[in-house]
Amino acid sequence: MALTINEDCTACDACPSVCPNEAISKGEPIYSIDALRCTECVGAEDEPQCRLVCPADCIVISPDWPETRAELQEKYDQLHS
């Protein structure tokens, strides 16, 4: 599943630089994650790096974008081929 950023975001700027897919962008007033680019770091890391660096714990799994680990890996491969 793709990740999403909820309203608890403080716009601290910690997450965009750790995303291997450049899926995180600054929005108004909070950051957002492009579900078409988010692989939850499958293919690059063992766990989502944005969640590790987020001081507000506002990055959550999106219930609106269900994906298997295999689908996330395929998306990562397509983004980086």
DSSP characters over the chain: --EEE-TT----S-SGGG-TT--EE--SSS-EE-TTT--TTTTT-SS-HHHHH-TT--EEE-TTS---HHHHHHHHHHHT-
Which tokens go with 10? Answer: 């403080």
- Predicted pLDDT at 11: 97
Domain architecture of the chain: domains with CATH: 3-79 (3.30.70.20)
pLDDT in tens, the chain (81 residues): 789 999 999 999 999 999 999 999 999 899 999 999 999 999 999 999 999 999 999 999 988 889 999 999 999 999 999
φ, ψ of residue 74 in degrees (nearest 5): -60, -40
